[in-house]
Each structure stands twice: as structure tokens, then as C-alpha cells.
């Protein structure tokens, strides 16, 4: 008597039978694809894309699975809000200036520093500030007394590890520091989750941390928001300049007057910019399209 077939063998046999293939459950069909036992990340992505092509996985599910894999490769420095863009509060600021600032920025948490921005002493929660007013304690307001502890992490901390720490310690925000202890930026649990459930496909278009401008095809280029204006000018022969910003993302935000949403378009001289990825605080990826001379003249 022959040995009974294993579960994987049964799935393979069933999967090869056209009449029975429609009766397979979602997980059995996905398992039949995974029987190839991918040996590295690239092969696993190939399997997932094959599942997507066979309509076993929809667009959103594929995007999230790619995001999960991406989180394991990214570090805090890759997605943090840069130091220059952090909304911070000086512990010596009066309540009369803190309240309008909190209302204007509309964040739930604000790093508080003392002396200089490298010395973060705590985190102000907007709800704690509101509680002071609801309890009638605004007249003797003491910012230090309501600060929450601050969490510091190195720039190199992997996002999958950070997400686990956020969940285990019930933290929502961390200050990113460099090797000398200086503040490099800020990262939140929402920033990490966006890499999974947000528009993560643009991140794959940059092979290394040094790649900030890559060809997207059809004469268009994908450009990271952190690309310096000087580097952009050198690549495209433009003459952009700004006194208060140093990156192409900052230049576009200045022109629009706000942090843009995906799909927004702006023309700056000979270049048409389309926002490919941005969150509530930062512009991450742009699509830059050099315009033909006649199109530039039409806009003037």
C-alpha cells in the first residue's frame, strides 16, 4: 500500500486539476504557490506578485505585504521627520504662545526642549494641556509638571524592532539621535505603520540611501523630497534657490504654502512636479518632469 500523500502533495495535485481548482480555498491556493519554497526576499516577492496576477491577492493586500517586508529593511533615519521640520516647544514659553502653537500645528504630541533643541526634556500631550483648562488650573500652569517621559532611539534602529517596542511600551513617539547624542529627527508609530498600509511602492524605486534622483521613464524622474536644491540644480541645469529651505521638497512646499497631498501638481519654471508620497508632516517623493521650451513659454 502506498503511503498517504502529505498535505502539500494533496494541494499540488488538486491545484493541477482545472475542474477542482475553483473549489480551493484562498489559503489552499496561496499555499500551492508557496510550495516553491522561496529562498530569499526577491523570490518571495515574485511569489506574492504571482499570487496577485492570479487574483489570489488584491492590490491592498499585496501593498501591505510588501510593506511588512520593507519595514524589516528600513531604519529610523529613513522615514523620520527631519530635525528642521520638527514642531517643538521651549519649556520657558508662556502659555499664551503655547496654546496657539498647539492649535496651529494640530499634533497630539510635542517634544519640549530646554536651552537648545538637542536637549529634549519631555513630551507635551495636547490632551494634558486641554485638561489644565478643564480643571481650571490654567492660571498656575506649570509645563514641566505635565510633561511625559521622552524616548530616545538611534538613527540605525530598524523599523520592525521599533514597532515592537512601541507596542510593548505603549509609546507613540520617539526622538531620533545621532552618534553624538544630538537630535536628528522624530518618528511616530503612525510613521512606521504608514510603511505597511500606506503608499510604500515608491520606496522600492531607490536602490540605496544615496540615490535621491532616479529615472522613472518617459523623461520623468522620481526625486526624494530630501534632495538638496543644489544637487537638483546640478542634475537638471535649473537655477532654483531659497533662503529658508535647502531641499527640493521644502521648495515645493513653500510654493504650495502647505504640506501637499499625493497627486498635487505644481510647476516651477522648466519643471513640473507631482507629489507621489507625503504624510501630514513631510513631502517624501516627487515626480519631476522637465517641460519642453514651448510649454515653459506658455506658462509665462
Domains of the chain by residue range? 7-57, 77-197, 201-299
Identical fold, 77-197 and 201-299:
no
Say if residue 171's pLDDT is above 50.
yes
For residue range 37-95, list pLDDT tens digits in order. 666 777 777 878 887 788 887 777 777 777 777 777 888 988 888 888 889 999 999 98
pLDDT bracket for residue 121 (50, 70, 90):
very high
Say if residue 203's pLDDT is above 50.
no
**CA–centroid distance for 219 within its chain:** 26
Q: What is the pLDDT of residue 72?
A: 79
pLDDT bracket for residue 138 (50, 70, 90):
low
And the C-alpha cell for 69? Answer: 517586508
The percent of residues above 70 in pLDDT, for the chain, comes to: 77
- Measured between alpha carbons, how far is 10 from 17 in angstroms, rounded to an integer? 11
Average pLDDT, the chain: 80
pLDDT bracket for residue 1 (50, 70, 90):
very low
For residues 211 and 28, the model is more confident at 211
Class level of CATH domain 77-197 = alpha beta
Q: Is 201-299 in CATH node 3.40.50.920?
A: no
At residue 113, the 3 state secondary structure works out as: strand
Task: Note the helical H segments in the chain.
Answer: 7-15, 18-21, 26-34, 41-53, 59-71, 76-79, 95-105, 126-134, 159-169, 189-197, 229-236, 248-256, 293-299
For residue range 206-257, list pLDDT tens digits in order. 555 567 898 876 788 989 999 999 999 999 999 999 888 899 999 999 999 8
Amino acid at each position: 500500500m502506498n503511503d498517504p500523500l502529505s498535505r502539500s502533495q494533496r494541494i499540488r495535485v488538486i491545484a493541477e486539476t482545472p475542474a477542482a481548482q475553483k473549489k480551493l480555498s484562498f489559503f489552499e491556493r496561496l499555499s500551492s504557490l508557496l510550495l516553491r519554497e522561496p529562498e530569499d526576499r526577491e523570490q518571495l516577492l515574485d511569489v506574492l506578485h504571482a499570487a496577485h496576477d492570479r487574483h489570489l491577492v488584491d492590490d491592498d493586500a499585496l501593498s501591505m505585504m510588501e510593506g511588512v517586508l520593507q519595514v524589516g529593511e528600513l531604519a529610523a533615519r529613513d522615514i523620520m521627520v527631519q530635525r528642521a521640520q520638527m514642531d517643538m516647544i521651549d519649556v520657558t514659553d508662556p502659555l499664551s504662545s503655547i496654546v496657539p502653537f498647539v492649535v496651529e500645528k494640530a499634533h497630539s504630541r510635542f517634544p519640549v526642549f530646554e536651552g537648545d533643541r538637542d536637549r529634549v526634556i519631555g513630551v507635551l500631550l495636547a490632551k494634558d494641556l486641554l485638561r489644565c483648562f478643564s480643571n481650571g488650573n490654567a492660571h498656575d500652569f506649570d509645563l514641566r509638571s505635565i510633561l511625559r517621559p521622552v524616548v530616545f532611539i538611534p538613527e540605525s534602529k530598524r523599523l520592525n524592532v521599533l514597532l515592537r517596542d512601541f507596542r510593548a511600551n505603549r509609546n507613540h513617539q520617539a526622538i531620533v539621535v545621532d552618534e553624538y547624542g544630538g537630535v536628528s529627527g522624530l518618528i511616530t508609530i503612525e510613521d512606521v505603520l504608514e510603511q505597511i498600509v500606506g503608499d510604500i511602492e515608491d520606496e522600492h524605486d531607490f536602490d540605496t540611501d544615496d540615490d535621491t534622483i532616479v529615472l522613472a521613464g518617459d523623461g520623468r524622474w522620481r526625486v526624494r523630497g530630501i534632495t538638496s536644491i543644489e544637487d537638483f540644480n546640478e542634475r537638471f541645469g535649473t537655477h532654483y534657490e531659497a533662503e529658508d529651505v535647502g531641499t527640493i521638497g521644502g521648495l515645493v512646499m513653500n510654493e504650495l504654502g502647505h504640506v501637499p497631498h499625493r497627486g498635487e501638481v505644481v510647476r516651477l519654471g522648466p519643471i513640473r512636479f507631482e507629489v507621489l508620497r507625503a504624510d501630514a508632516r513631510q513631502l517624501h517623493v516627487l515626480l519631476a518632469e522637465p517641460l519642453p521650451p514651448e510649454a515653459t513659454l506658455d506658462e509665462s
